[in-house]
Structure 1
Amino acid sequence: MDLPPQVIELDGVTLRRFNGEADLPELFRVLEESLEHLRPWVHWVAEHSLARTTTFLASRAERWADGDAFSYAIVLDGGIVGACGLFRHDDTPANSYELGYWLHPAATGRGVATRAARALVEQAFRLPGIDYVEIVHDPANLASGAIPARLGFIEHLRRPAERLAPAETGEDQIWRLTRRQAKATLASGEAP
């Protein structure tokens, strides 16, 4: 199976595959500092704990090897400031990935999430058989929605969703970028 690189160097930002228990103290601290920033939009924040973070990190190697999730620490100035990844849910078609990201509040507004997302889009389309990448967020989460718009994603659809986090509206906004759209965008010199 083709796999993306374990380390992706970007302009001032590094994406690196999570390193299991070695990343636990730093990732847990960054999450702790980010809870209030993430709470309105991220449902798993309500269940945040050291045990859940430990379980998350412990599952990364198997999910990477299976091609189900390529999870990266976002590193800025030598420290973890968030996470991003390509992943599949049980119902995700084999020819696609969903792309997700979150940042510590001190790292927002600097293009970090956009650079990380752009890099993961490029990696997704280097994998054989991937026809599209999706980004899913609540339409009221304007910061998350700005990233796919910047990268040339097209709003694919909106669907009802269970409200799991306090600020969610009960709807998912799904953005999609196809391999063909990405090639056209890259050929024109624009994002991604």
Structure 2
Amino acid sequence: MAHPRQLIACGDFVLRRWRGQEDFALALALIEESLEHLRPWELWVASHSEENTRTLLDHFESRWASGEVYNYAIAEGGTLVGMCQSYRAPEPRGRCLGYWLHPAATGRGIATKATAALVAEMFALPGVEYLEITHDSANTSSAAIPRRLGFAELRREPAPPPVPPAGSGINVTWRLNRPANSVRK
């Protein structure tokens, strides 16, 4: 099974594979400093704990090995500023993308550049024919990224309950199909 690179350079920052429990303190600090920023959009924030962070890092390891999810820390210098991931879509030829940033890292194009790098990396894998990004329709910051990267809006549909605190209850899904010339160099 082909896997993406574990380190992806993005100019001023890198995407790097999470290093399991070795990254516990960094992951915990990143999450805890971002909780209020994420609370309106992310339901998992309500159950955040040190134990859940440890479990999350363990899952990152096993799911990477299986190809189910590729999770990356977004690192600027020695500081973690966010997370991004690609996970299997319901259809075997697709993958879904997700991302979030520490509040101090927003508004600088980091999420867009990180997602663009993840797009290129996923399309370099064999068998990946499309990528999707889904977000709540009220989350305009998340909507800007697929729009900037050339994704096309695919559908709007009711979100499964529960709905995040700031959510509209409508999910927007964007899709980008594999370009004809996307091959790892």
TM-score with structure 2 setting the length: 0.94
Cα deviations by residue, 1:139-171 (Å, 9 ceiling, x for unpaired)? 110000000000000000011112431001111
Amino acid paired to 1:164: V
Instruction: Quote the residue 1:126 is aligned against.
Output: 124
Unmatched runs of 5 consecutive residues or more in structure 2: none
Query: Aligned residue for 2:22?
Result: 22
Hey, what's the Cα distance between the residues in 2 that align with 1:86 and 1:22?
A: 21
- Which SS does the other structure have where 1:106 is aligned? helix
- Where does structure 1 differ by over 2 angstroms across 4 or more consecutive aligned residues? none
Q: 1 CA distance for matches of 2:107 and 2:68?
A: 29
Q: Percent identity?
A: 49
Whichever residue aligns with residue 20 of structure 1, its letter is G
Find the aligned partners of 1:133 and 1:116 in 2 and give their Cα distance: 15
Q: Which amino acid aligns with 1:106?
A: A
1:13-59 Cα deviation digits (max 9, x unpaired): 11000001111111111111111100001111111111111101011
**1:109 match:** 107
Match of 2:165 in 1: 166
CA distance in 1, matches of 2:162, 2:60: 27
In structure 2, give the amino acid aligned to 1:36: E
> In structure 1, what is the Cα distance between the partners aligned to 2:162 and 2:148?
26
Q: Distance in 1 between matches of 2:151 and 2:114?
A: 15
What value does the CA root-mean-square deviation take over the aligned residues? 1.3
Unpaired segments ≥5 residues, structure 1 = 187-192
| Equivalences, count | 181
SS in 2 for 1:80: strand
1:72 match: 72
Question: The residue matched to 2:22 in structure 1 has which SS?
Answer: helix
Equivalent residues in 2 for 1:19-168, closer than 5 Å: 19-88=19-88, 92-161=90-159, 162-168=161-167
**Structure 1 residue 72 displacement after superposition:** 0.3
Secondary structure of 2:124 counterpart: coil
Match of 2:176 in 1: 177
- Paired residue secondary structure (1:165): coil
2:3 is the alignment partner of 1:9? no
